[in-house]
A and B are shown apart, each in its own frame.
Chain A
Amino acid sequence: MSTSAAIASTSAVLPRRGGVLNALSDAFWRNPRLLLFLMLAPPVLWLGVVYLGSLFALLLQSFFSIDEFSGLINREFTLKTYGELLLPSNMDIMIRTVVMAASVTIASAIVAFPIAYFAARYARGKWKALFYLGVMLPLWSSYLVKVYAWKLILAKEGILTWALDKLHLTWLLDAWLSLPVVGGNSLSVSFTGTFIVFVYVWLPFMILPIQAALERVPGNLIEASADLGASPAQTFRNVLFPLALPGIIAGSIFTFSLTLGDYIIPQIIGNSQYFIGQAVYSLQGTAGNIPLAAAFTVVPIVVMGIYLWMARRMGAFDAL
C-alpha cells in the first residue's frame, strides 16, 4: 500500500528486518489476501480435485450406458440408464430405502428427545459430564462393533430371546415376526432388526443437535407457559417442540443421509431385499454396471439436496 512507505520514514515504526521469513511475514501483513489465498489453496485443491473431481466423474458416467450383450460401457450421452431406474424392481429399492430412512429418523427423534431434554435442562455438574460422555462414547465407538453387538443380541439363541422367554413374552415376538413385511424367520433377518440397528447406530447423531437446540431455551419460558395455564402437553406442543425443531432437523440430516447410503447394516442384519447402498455396491462390483450404479447414487444426492435446502430454510444449520 502507498501509505506504508510514508509511515516507514517516521521513527515510531521499527526498522525493516532482513531475511526471507521476515520479508514473507511483512508481505502477508501488507497483503492479507495473499495469506488467505495460500491458506485456502491446499484444502480447496484437495477437496476440489480428489472429492469433487471424482464425484463429477462418477455423475458423468451415469449418462453413459452399458451394452447388454458385450457388457462394455458405451460412452455416448444417453438418458437410458436413468430410464432403467424407473423399472419396478429399482423403484422398489428406492421406495424401501426412503421409507426406512424416514422411519429411522422419526424413531430416533422420539428416543433422542427425552435424553437431550434431560441433559439440557436438568443435568448439572457431574451428571452433565456423564450424559455428554454417555452420548459421545457410543457415537465414536466402532460402527462394526455396534452392528456386531446387535447380531449377538438379535440372534435366535441370543439375549433378547432369552429375556423374552424369562418374561414369558415369547408369544409377542412370534406374533410380531409372523406379520408380513416387518416379520421374518428371526429378528436378525427381518426389517424390524434392520430398523432397530439403524436407530441404535445413528441415535447419538440425533441427540447432540437436539440438546444443543434445547440448551438455548430459557427455563423461564417453560415456566411462563405453565403459569399461563398450559398443560405439560400444551407446553411441549406450543413452546418446546417448535424451539427444538431446528435441532431435530439438523439431527435428521445425519440419520436420514446415513441410512440412505448404508449398505452394511442391511447386509448383516436384514433379509435379502436390497437397499440403495447394496444395489450400488453389487452393481459396481459383481455386475460391473457402473452407469446404473452411478445413476443410483444420484438418488441419495438429489434427496439430500432437497432435504438440505429445506433444512436451511427452517434454520437447522444454526443448531449444528
Chain B
Amino acid sequence: MRSDRNSSAPIALKIAAAAGLLFLHIPLLLIFVYAFTTEEKSYQWPPPGLTAKWFAVTWNRPDVWEALALSLKVAAISTLIAIILGTLCAAAVSRSKFFGRETISLLVILPIALPGIITGISLRSAFSLMNIPFSTWTIVLGHATFCIVVVYNNAVARFRRTSGSMIEASYDLGADGFQTFRHIVLPNIGTALLAGGMLAFALSFDEVIVTTFTAGQQQTLPIWMLEELVRPRQRPVTNVVAMVVVLVTLLPILAAYYLTRDGDQTAGSGK
C-alpha cells in the first residue's frame, strides 16, 4: 500500500460522501426556488415563472406575524429557563462525583431519548388532570424540558475542559465563591452557554410534536406551517414562510459553530 493514503480518499468513497451531502442539501435549496414560483395551485417543476410578489403577500398576513411573535416569545423564555437549569445541572455533575450522578444525566437526556409524542401526551393529560388551561406557559413548560439537555451537553463539555486548578488558584488568591464564579468560571463557560442557548432557541423555535399537545388553540409558527401542510390554503405563502424559517434558523447555528469552534484552546487546559 502506498504511504500517502492519508491524503487522498478512494474515488468511490468521495462519490458516496458527496452524494450523501447533496442528498442532505438539495431539498433545502429547492425551498428557495419555490418561494419565487408563480404557480399557485400545484408543486409544478420547473416553475413556470418567477416572481417576488409572494413576499409582499406574506408580509401583509397578520396570522403569520402572530404565529411568529408567539414562537419567538416561547423560544426566548424556554431558552432562559434551559440555560439556568442546564448550567446548574452541568456544574453539579462535572464538579463532583456523587451517588446518583448517572441517574441525573439519564434524567436530563430522557426527554429527547424518548419520542416527543410521549412528552407531549403526558403533559397534555397532566394539564387536563389538573385543570390547567392552555397558555403560553403550557408551551414553555414542554419546550424548556427538552431544551435543558442541549445547554447541559454544551456546558458539561466545556466544564470538562476548564482546568480545576484555575478555580483553586482563584480561591488561593483570596477570592470568594461568587467572585470566582464571576471572574473565572463565567468567562470560561460563557461562549459554551451562548452556543447552547442558541441551539436551544433553534430547537424550541422549530418544535412541533410536543407543541401540538400543549398549545391548545394557539399557533406557533411550526403549528401554522403544519396546518398549511395538512390543509393548504395559500401554497405560495407557505413557500415564503418556509424559506424565511430556513434563513432564520441558519444564523444561530452558524453563530453557535463559531462560538464553540475554538473551545479546545480554553485557558489553563494544559495544566
Measured CB to CB, the residues of A under 8 A from B are 14, 17, 21-22, 24-26, 28-29, 32, 35-36, 39-40, 42-44, 46-48, 50-55, 57-58, 61, 111-112, 114-115, 117-119, 121-122, 131-138, 140-153, 155, 157-159, 162, 200, 203-204, 207, 219, 222-223, 226-227, 232, 253, 257-258, 260-264, 267-268, 277, 280-281, 284, 290, 293-294, 297, 300-301, 304, 308
Contact = CB atoms under 8 A, between A and B. Distances in A.
Interface in B163-183: 171, 174, 176-178
A45 B113 CA distance: 19
A24 B203 CA distance: 36
B208 A28 contact: no
A142 B43 contact: no
A46 to B, nearest CB: 6
A25 B178 CA distance: 7
A62 to B, nearest CB: 11
Given A21-B176, A36-B95, A257-B114, 13 more contacts: A22-B176, A26-B176, A55-B122, A137-B253, A140-B202, A142-B222, A144-B229, A145-B225, A149-B28, A159-B46, A263-B209, A267-B230, A297-B117
B144 to A, nearest CB: 7
Which residue, of A112, A121, A131, A264, has the highest number of chain B Cβ atoms within 10 A? Answer: A264
Interface residues of B, number: 87
Interface string B116-134: 1111011111100100000
Given A51-B110, A149-B31, A140 B121 contact: no
Contacts of B254: 133
Contact of B31 (A55, A119, A132, A145): A145
B86 A43 contact: yes
Ranked 8 nearest A-B pairs via Cβ: A261-B115, A114-B16, A54-B126, A149-B27, A118-B17, A25-B176, A54-B122, A25-B177
Given A42-B88, A54-B122, A134-B21, A122 B178 contact: no
A26 to B, nearest CB: 7
A16 to B, nearest CB: 11
B118 A157 contact: no
B232 to A, nearest CB: 10
A40 B208 contact: no
A44 B107 contact: yes
Contact of B114 (A61, A112, A121, A304): A304
B236 to A, nearest CB: 12
24 contacts: A21-B178, A29-B176, A51-B107, A51-B110, A53-B126, A111-B23, A134-B24, A135-B24, A137-B253, A138-B25, A140-B202, A140-B206, A140-B253, A143-B208, A143-B222, A144-B225, A144-B229, A144-B242, A145-B245, A148-B31, A152-B30, A223-B1, A261-B115, A261-B118
Nearest to B103: A44
Contact of B121 (A132, A268, A293): A293
A261 B116 contact: yes
